[in-house]
Structure 1
Amino acid sequence: MGTILLSHSVSANDLTVGFSQIGSESGWRAAETSVAKSEAEKRGITLKIADAQQKQENQIKAIRSFIAQGVDAIFLAPVVQTGWEPVLQEAKEAEIPVFLLDRNITVKDDSLFMTGVAADSVHEGAVAADWLIKTQAGQPCNVVELQGTVGASVALERKQGFLDTVATVPTIKIIRTQSGDFTRSKGKEVMESFIKAENNGKNICAVYAHNDDMAIGAIQAIKEAGLKPGKDIKIISIDGVPDIFKAMIAGEANASVELTPNMAGPALDALLAFKKDGTLPPKHIKTESVLFEPATAQAQLDLKKDMGY
């Protein structure tokens, strides 16, 4: 008991996957769901999606429901890093492999999941910091940071990567940091408080947002304060969603580190290989992170439209 056994060889058409999705709190998250549906459809796999509305208890309920339904695999985009052992143990005992998408978890027994498909979030933060360091070219810069959801692995890692990198440059300082919960509305609200606290924004050189949606919220707050985002205050964020490219074209954002929304594709391929002949995937499947600036914003926007973003 507790070991995932290899079932008989099945075709993709026989497979059903349950996907516990965090929610639709951002443009990127909605795109991940949309791409997951199309990737499953391409492979003839039935995908059942449960929207957790950013609550771990809803994800745990969804996983238990998927176990009861006897799905062939469970995809989990975990809202937070901890607290998954009991329900994942239940999946393991039911011999249902679990695949993590775009975020990591902390468990003592890593056999509770088969693989995790994710970007290197520490690297993403470092790429954002490198861009700011190069842009400032030795000039001083006070940065305010809009963090993602408290306790989410991606927020902790994007913070770490940025902090560790700017720590090597004494002219760049993070003067304020607070969670904007990965949402546009909270990003705007937090940025408003930063602006008020920092001489109507005049002490702020740049915003580092853990995702584009919070950056868009910050842009709105900056404009309402009578300042020019992208000029008076630089905007660097992560995700590469269409709206941030629109902001770049408008001159209101400076750079974004792309996070591909196609996390399900590699996970589905790993599942098919496992079901076919027992091939075990690597424990972590890493996706690429690329920095984009205004010069290529229109091309990226066109590409996103082609992807159905």
Structure 2
Amino acid sequence: MIDLMTHLFRLQAIVEEGSLRRAAVKLGVTQPALSRSIAQIEERLGQPLLERHARGVEPTAFGREVLSSVLRLSRQWELEEQELLTSAGPAKKVLRIEAGPLWRVVVLPALLGPLKEAHPDLKVELANLKSGSTVEGILEGRVDVMCGGLQFASDLPPRLSHRSFTVFHDRVIAREDHPLFDRAQGGELPPEALLDYPWLVYSGDPVYELEIAHAATERLGREPDIRITCESLNSAMRVLQQSDCISILPDGALVETRDPALVPVPVAMGRRRAPSGMIFRDEMADWPPLRTLMALCEAHFGEHAAQEAIG
């Protein structure tokens, strides 16, 4: 088993360096030793892993599949090593998270403090989950958990699991003291009233651009007066708090906004529902830091659901 892992890690180094010579220098072994490692893996798996090109060596299609598994195994090996080192003495565990804008701005800031209290030796690496991102980073171990929309969770590849915590609802929103609220009739605002105010488009997720450009146009009969396009969710919310702009955003973004609060506009538009939660590798499910983070998420969203029911 250890010999096989050694050969697989050598394959990873060869692919990363693009040549046996550079990989040999990096690993401190001879090129013939690397060639023997590749030959042993190919003999065991029954297919070629590398092919030569003018630029050096590149993985075959099968080699890329093997490399993906190697990267995943490498990350799991690293996690197990962290656990063993922690048992023997102080050592830092690392949790790598990619999170969508709503999770970065609203959800995770409320949870990372308690997570660190529960696991003082934990280092968290938080990166942006960009629109259109795939699960390849999780499969290969570069990322441990993705936090965001779960629209495609039913199509996840093997070895990946998901956990849903809530459903966000898109709403037309404005600041609580916006003049349009004075125009509500019987608790509902006429949709055409939205055309009398400037709009802000949150462009960090193309879905919201499409909702305003198409759904709003279809519902209102003409395109709204779009004055501001903003890629940052934080900045978008600040602009909405300090102007007469209105927008379509998920209701989860409104949590904890103050002075003035951002609130849903009572109008029949912008009602898309999006499940949200985490995607992670199966073998991560019992890792203590991830178990704690999921428990914190359950408590966080449960508390907000209870507050909404009371309100």
TM-score (norm 1): 0.41
Would you tell me which structure has more helix in proportion to its own residues? 2
TM-score (norm 2): 0.41
